[in-house]
Amino acid sequence: MILAVVYSIKQSTTQYRFPPFAADSTFEPFIHKHNKICIMKHIKWFFLAALIIGTLGSCDKDSSNSDIIGTWEGFWGFDFDNPTIYEKWEIKKGGELIAYNSNGGKMATGHWEVNGFNFEAQYTTVTSHNTYLFTGLYSDVGAEITGNWGEAPSHTDGGTFIMHKQ
């Protein structure tokens, strides 16, 4: 788009030949005024386009991940076993995560992050103060997060997990 604007400005600043009926430069002031107006129009459109692109590109992080906000329920398991141990997550705006056990009691607090399809959460249990790291793939279409978990800083020495949005 920038190249088109520059080319257009170059074309509009090209000196026009005087009309064939003008033997002298009586139209020269008109031509210079016309060139300035064309240049100003192109500059105006260039800055308007830059403003629109800048505005669209300045969205905050949470707006692109709004689908992940909410309640998630699922299971985790040890090593490569099928995940069978129930867990519920409250994923909140701003990166806050609260985990609950099958009785509904608060089990852990932590934070989460999504980068494209890559999900990462880390929480610390309220009783034993152990810290766990969950990494996996987030699918907003299937409302699912699947991956591995482990004792932080590792995310692979624990097992696998799967969560579904409620």
The 10s digit of each residue's pLDDT in 94-129 is 999 999 999 999 999 999 999 999 999 999 999 999
Which pTM value belongs to this model?
Answer: 0.61
pLDDT tens for 7-44 read 555 555 555 555 555 555 555 555 556 666 767 676 77
DSSP 7-47: HHHHHHHSPPPPPTT--SSTTHHHHHHHHHHHHHHHHHHHH
1 or 36: which leads in pLDDT: 36
Domain 62-165 architecture: Beta Barrel (2.40)
What percent of the chain clears pLDDT 70, i.e. is strictly above it?
63
Q: What percent of the chain has pLDDT over 90?
A: 57
Domain limits of the chain?
A: 2-56, 62-165
Q: Which amino acid is at 97?
A: L
* pLDDT at 1 exceeding the cut of 80: no
Q: What is the pLDDT of residue 54?
A: 56
CA angle 44, 47, 48 (to 5 degrees): 80
What is the pLDDT of the chain when averaged over all its residues? 80
Instruction: In whole angstroms, give the CA distance from residue 117 to residue 101.
Output: 26
